[in-house]
Structure 1
Amino acid sequence: MSIVLVTGGVRSGKSAFAERLAQEKSASVLYVATGVCSDEEMEQRITLHRGRRPASWGLAETPCDADEMVASYSAYDVVLFDCISTWISNLLIDVPEEKWRDPAETERILGKIDRWLSAVRDYPGTIIAVTSETGLGGVAMSKLGRWFQDTLGEANQRIASEAEEVYAVLSGIPWKIKGEGV
């Protein structure tokens, strides 16, 4: 198993870079999509991502249960997971407001990240995981926003610690920040 983490700001070009990495590694790619078509803008984003992907790639749409479907990766050489930050957003949105920032809810969500990481250790191919970097901006103004930043920040750190390579994408330019050749 090899994990490549691609992080960066929103609309930084990280998904397009991850797609190029996947294409370079193999023609046998599973695209794990966590986005949910909730409005017209999200529909446009999903359409853009679909249009860039080769038709030969497999697709698994899993907005909340990505940790439970790792067994389906075995038919592919490369898995492009797009993206961790949307997965966490989906999980947080399902939590009632009175439980926001509840330590048990945070641990439940981070437990899903840990289960995913544990399951992918048995996968013999390459995982390319895309995520948004929460550490580049200010502290969110809302309670939900701060919870998102804290939870995603911890998830990103856990994944990055196990990744063999980590790239930060800024303004469409990827910078390798962990791995051979850094």
Structure 2
Amino acid sequence: MSQIILVTGPARSGKSEWAETLATETQLHVVYVATGNQDVNDTEWQKRIQNHQLRRPPNWLTLEVPRNLSHVIADAHPHSCILVDSLGTWVANYLDMNEETWSNIAQELLETVGIIAAKIIFVAEETGWGVIPAYPLGRIFRDRLGNLVRQLSVISDTAYLVTGGYVLNLGRLGFPLPIVQEDTN
């Protein structure tokens, strides 16, 4: 039986560690889906990747999937746990796409998640708690990620907010708002 879990929060809040804990607790075969692109010229990024790798058990399968996330999820074994870290990086990898193309990609992901039999844990950044970005690409990123996280939270069995090192179960503390489609033109 499938289960969808969303773990969201700001940078350095502990959301990846919490998602890794949840994946370990499943006692299933874990497939860690890294959405970031390797960049050997960016030593700081390489260090972040290395720190994530060192935290994970060696028996987890790691897949680097910067774009075709829906295909990997669709192929998931029913008795596995897929941990996607992170949606923010995945969304950023599509910023070159126009709104219609992006909308189709996001819809494909949501539809795929709704029909799989595996357990899936998504890690997503919260980016909309600050000022409105002063540049168009920043606003596109913030809006796309915010909308995707909101839509995903509605179909998730459990949604957690991790902030300041604390884990909050949003389903126990609140209730989801209905999704209202906004005109982005």
TM-score (norm 1): 0.87
Structure 1 counterpart SS, 2:170: strand
Q: Identify the residue that residue 21 of structure 1 maps to in structure 2.
A: 22
Q: 1:118 Cα shift?
A: 1.3
Q: Identify the residue that residue 46 of structure 1 maps to in structure 2.
A: 49
Correspondence 1:118 to 2:119: no
Paired letter, 2:125: S
RMSD over aligned Cα atoms:
1.9
Whole-Å Cα distance in 2 between the matches of residues 165 and 175 of structure 1?
11
Q: Identify the residue that residue 85 of structure 1 maps to in structure 2.
A: 88
Whole-Å Cα distance in 2 between the matches of residues 110 and 12 of structure 1?
29
Q: Identify the residue that residue 57 of structure 1 maps to in structure 2.
A: 60
Paired letter, 1:36: N
Paired letter, 2:13: S
Q: Identify the residue that residue 101 of structure 1 maps to in structure 2.
A: none
1:2–1:134 CA distance, 2 compared to 1 (3 A): same
Paired letter, 1:3: I
Q: 1:180 Cα shift?
A: 9.6
Q: Identify the residue that residue 183 of structure 2 maps to in structure 1.
A: none
Size of the aligned set, in residue pairs, is 172
The percentage of aligned residue pairs carrying the same residue is 35
Q: 1:143 Cα shift?
A: 1.3
Whole-Å Cα distance in 2 between the matches of residues 175 and 120 of structure 1?
23
Q: 1:107 Cα shift?
A: 2.9
Structure 2 counterpart SS, 1:88: helix
Whole-Å Cα distance in 2 between the matches of residues 158 and 21 of structure 1?
21
Q: Identify the residue that residue 35 of structure 1 maps to in structure 2.
A: 36
1:65–1:161 CA distance, 2 compared to 1 (3 A): same
Whole-Å Cα distance in 2 between the matches of residues 12 and 77 of structure 1?
26
User: Is the deviation greater in 108-117 or in 6-15?
Assistant: 108-117
Q: Which has the higher helix share?
A: 1
CA-to-aligned-CA distance 1:59-88 (integer Å, 9 cap, x gap): 111101112222331165211010111000
Q: Identify the residue that residue 138 of structure 1 maps to in structure 2.
A: 131
User: Is the deviation greater in 7-16 or in 69-78?
Assistant: 69-78
1:164–1:137 CA distance, 2 compared to 1 (3 A): same
Whole-Å Cα distance in 2 between the matches of residues 179 and 111 of structure 1?
32
Paired letter, 2:87: I
Q: Identify the residue that residue 13 of structure 2 maps to in structure 1.
A: 12
Contact 2:73 / 2:82 at 8 angstroms: preserved in 1?
no
Structure 1 counterpart SS, 2:13: coil
1:24–1:10 CA distance, 2 compared to 1 (3 A): same
Whole-Å Cα distance in 2 between the matches of residues 139 and 91 of structure 1?
20
Contact 2:91 / 2:141 at 8 angstroms: preserved in 1?
yes
